[in-house]
Amino acid sequence: MNPNYKKVFNNTTQYRGILTPDGTVRAANDTILGFTGSDREQVIGTKLWEVPGVRFSERTQDQVHADVRKAAKGEFVKHELAIEGAERTAIIDFSLQPLTDESG
């Protein structure tokens, strides 16, 4: 990751990550790692709805999985979501923004 991009990515109060179209976490910022109590190695390569340290209800897991499928089809997803981290529960403004390259 570019050093300047890494500083911006990690220097925020927002939980940020980068996913593959199937929901696999490719990058996670320090803020979300702190909230979940997870190490980067535990999170990278894991499906978003199975991230260690986030105890989603089965309903929330299903919602996040469905949201990832929508985003993979190019749809912007945004809604409030309750997540339980290592020490507390939070209501977050959850969004998925599809990104494409030259080939779509």
pTM equals 0.85
What was the pLDDT predicted at 101? 77
Mean pLDDT, the chain cut into blocks of 10 residues (104 residues total): 68 85 94 90 93 82 94 95 88 90 76
Is residue 10 within 8 Å of residue 18, measured between CB atoms?
A: no
Rounded (5°) CA angle 87-84-72: 140
Q: 90-101 burial, b if ≥16 CB within 10 A, otherwise e? A: eeeebebeeeee
Q: Give the torsion sign (CA, 86, 15, 43, 78).
A: positive
**Phi and psi, residue 11, nearest 5°:** -95, 70
